[in-house]
Amino acid sequence: MYKASPKRKEIVEKSKSVREKEIKQNSNFFAKHLKRIYPITLQRSTSSSFSLSSISLSLSQNSTDSVSTDSNSTLEQKISLALGLISSPHRREIFVPKSIPQQLCQDFNSSDEPKRCNWITKKSDEVYVMFHDQQWGVPVYDDNLLFEFLAMSGMLMDYNWTEILKRKEHFREAFCEFDPNRVAKMGEKEIAEIASNKAIMLQESRVRCIVDNAKCITKVVNEFGSFSSFVWGFMDYKPIINKFKYSRNVPLRSPKAEIISKDMIKRGFRFVGPVIVHSFMQAAGLTIDHLVDCFRHGDCVSLAERPWRHI
């Protein structure tokens, strides 16, 4: 059997010691910089794996056009780029090396703003944005709130959502928090006072329509137990979950809105055409019409998939 000389053995052991020292130094470097960070596109989880390959995936998805580094890029620049695109959940500032184009920096700074339906723009009024983010598309089961959305949807014949929402508190005060029983009992004096209120800006015919619809709701409640049961009964107690990618695909009316409109008109409701009813369905979450890439789509779908809970 071959036996290595003492001198050769000493050289091999020394070489092995040097390699182990280099490996330890490299691992300490990465541990120091990576143990406190995780990719922007991932959630911090005890079960999720983390590696530089996942950072590369994040880079390729977010900077296909902006960061096409040439063949002369060094390993140091690439690592700096990866670290620059990763932010601590407790900090908003993002480090970006000088070699990264300014456009990429702007893209990542704007990523703090959630993706919304594209009819919400930078010029959209705050009250409209808040309505989109908090109410529009959330399934509603409360009779008073359903009545409120039906009334406001009818106002779309004269105003847009922003104008209506800015006067919402005035409407609630004038129409007794949209309690159908109280509104149904309003007489000529109350109707005239509301119509003459400059803060509300509703024609007398519109005010009468809301009062008449309140009377219809009280009849529906006697028959179905609640206005909520009546409305959601058309939906088989489950919202319609749409997956529209573009705003042009979102309809102004729908077959279900046609059916509900026809039934409501037979019962004496006014200003409840298919377009108004569909707007009502969208606002009250009977149909989920947020675009699929909007951050609210998933939230509303999660609420819609819960077992129906009538209050």
- Does residue 90 have a known ligand-binding role? no
pLDDT for position 231: 97
Mean pLDDT, the chain, whole residue set: 76
Contact 158, 206 (CB under 8 A): yes
Indicate whether 56 belongs to any domain.
no
187-197 burial: b if 16+ Cβ within 10 Å, else e: eeebeeebbee
The tokens of 70 are what? Answer: 């040439």
Indicate whether 53 belongs to any domain.
no
Cα distance between residue 165 and residue 126, in whole Å: 10
Indicate whether 33 belongs to any domain.
no
Please report, as a single letter, which amino acid is at residue 151: A
Indicate whether 61 belongs to any domain.
no
Indicate whether 112 belongs to any domain.
no
Higher-pLDDT residue of 309, 79 = 309
User: What is the tens place of the pLDDT at every residue in 124-168?
Assistant: 999 999 999 999 999 999 999 999 999 999 999 999 999 999 999
Domain count, the chain: 1
Q: Which range among 89-103, 198-212, 237-251 shows the weakest confidence by mean pLDDT?
A: 89-103
- Domain region containing 241: 126-305
Residue 113: band (very low, low, confident or very high) from pLDDT cuts 50, 70, 90: confident
Indicate whether 106 belongs to any domain.
no
Indicate whether 97 belongs to any domain.
no
- Does residue 294 have a known ligand-binding role? yes
Q: Residue 288: which CATH number?
A: 1.10.340.30
- Does residue 278 have a known ligand-binding role? no
- Does residue 132 have a known ligand-binding role? yes
Indicate whether 71 belongs to any domain.
no
Residues 6+ apart with CB under 8 A from 235: 256, 286
Q: Does residue 225 surpass a pLDDT of 70?
A: yes
